[in-house]
Amino acid sequence: MNGHYYQNGTNGCLFGKEPWWKTATFYQVYPASFKDSNGDGWGDIPGLISEMDYLRDLGVDCVWMSPVFESPQADMGYDVSDYQKIYAPYGTVDDVDALVAACHERGMKLILDLVVNHTSVEHAWFKESRSSRDNPKRDWYIWRPARYDAEGKRVTPTNWRGYFAGPTWTWDERTQEYYLHLYASDQPDLNWESEACREAIYENTMRFWLERGVDGFRIDTVNKYSKRTEYADAPVTDLGSPHQPAPEMWCNGPRIHEFIREMRRKALEPYGAVSVGELSNTPLPSQVLPYVSAAAQELDMVFEFSMIRLGTGGMFGPKYVYVPFTLPQMKAIVAEWQTFIEGTDGWTTVFCENHDNGRAVSRFGDCSTRELWAASARALALWQATLTGTLFLYQGQEIGMTNMPDSWGIEEYKDVESRSFYAESKAAGDPNRISDTLRGLAILARDHSRIPFQWNDQPNAGFTTEGVTSWMRVHDNYREINAEKQKGDPNSVLSFYKRVLRLRKEYQDLFVFGSFKLLAAEDEALFAYVKENPVAEGTAERKALVLLNFSRESRPCLDVRSILGNTADEAPRLLVSTVEEGHVNGKTEAEQFPALRPWEGRVYISSGPD
């Protein structure tokens, strides 16, 4: 790491010159599902404000609120019809102001979700654009004439397949051209090639909220603004479909870095706003680093999805055909994205859940028994809290919320993507494809992360009023898994999250800024790595060994003393364990470093001055 300022403290180094967001814990709120304050079955901003003390007590430094802007809700608010208004079920602009104040009063910050690759078809800009071919806003969106096949039949300008299945082009009868949409037909893509359009984005969607005190943005689909403007067909790789995957045509395009630098210079930098970009289809560190290099002056950090996409069959046709993976595969990906910034001026992020994926404990943990669920949820917490970079949690992760029950049918899936992929499998007429898609959805669907937050064991899990039908069904297990129950249990998943988030701050030199070295890369059950602090003048070298048993069987402990370089007279210290009853203190090596129990995690720290 470059440019750290070190000051001796109680437990290591303080990084006085580093921006606040590097050591922060961010918490993503999916507002429709977090807390309903008025009994309409839909979560809202006043509900979020009512639980700010819960988030502060957890250890959250910054809240990231998913889209709440005016929207027809074709894609849960990722289809914005007015960036300066709030969708009425969420509240009002005044409620956002109150949320900003509630965060700042508690020493916390707030970022909003910025969706500017596309708008809703109901946005005033698009209504103008489609009104006539000579409208001044015509080129604010991407319009192309039809092509015609040998029989004279009208066909789309390209053969590209969209993210929600089907073509990326929709015909507009009035102006006799197609418009581009990478997602649903309700979500036409903005044309970033238009300077006037870009300036309107900066003014209407960014400065408006930054002036009101918002601290930055999570930027949706950030690497899709620059398309390849020759609009050529993609190679045919799916013989069963007329629409072909074509991310190379719209991801990381020729002007993308120019556009992001301009966005930073004109809209983010004047306000000191933090930026975290959603960077899909960018699997190589050499591709990612230009976005997050401090010298490049683009984004502060990005979400790279190689790890969280494990188990998916790709981004397009087979996405929801589940592909089993091994622990060594996952470890290799984690190691790659933990180390890619070493020796550079870049930064990275840490996350294993968000609103677009199944629950981490259901995908990477073990929910086969109540005991293994709790043990694996704590192990995942320790894993995330000890990785280098900025940590992002998703609502409900801290109490171990799980995927929807297997007994629930497809009718419980509300998401446009889930429904599109299921409909596509049915249209194919292949029973195996239908069953494979249903199995994949049961593990991976975005719906799992969007069911209501489980606050207590009262009707509707305390999310909304008794007797109200919530927008999504409340999980069957809310009486066993809920925040209220875990608050009073020192051994709960929630209590463990609070503990490790405090340790992450206390030992930030190791866990936030430390280097990462993977051990036992091919072990099928043990996830082990060494974290070492960056050493500067006046600071002592320290190491931590993280041991995580990702299995149902006990596993031998590694040679902790040798790995951490301690002598016989300098025993490594156990910093934290996920096991409720603690750690055996004995004289023999076996007593000091016993076998790891199923889904147990431990952190040992080298002895020496704190």
Task: Give the residue numbers marked as catalytic.
Answer: 220, 278
DSSP run (H or E) holding 43: none
Compute the distance between CA of residue 299 and CA of residue 293 in angstroms, rounded to an integer: 8
Contact 2, 15 (CB under 8 A): no
Helices (H), 430-472: 431-444
Q: Residue 311: how many CA atoms within 13 Å on its side-chain side? A: 18
Query: Nearest Cα to 451, choosing from 459, 441, 461, 443?
Result: 461
182-188-189-194 Cα dihedral, nearest 10 degrees: 160
Amino acid (one-letter) located at 605: I
Angle in degrees, CA 584, 388, 263, rounded to 5? 155
Helices (H), 69-130: 93-105, 124-129
Compute the distance between CA of residue 461 and CA of residue 447 in angstroms, rounded to an integer: 17
Q: Hey, what are 193's tokens?
A: 């090639």
Burial of 434 (0-12, 13-18, 19+ CB in 10 A): middle
Residue given tokens 């004289």 in the structure block: 587
Q: Reduced to 3 states, what is the DSSP secondary structure of residue 85?
A: strand
CB neighbour list of residue 134: distance below 8 Å, 6 or more residues apart: none
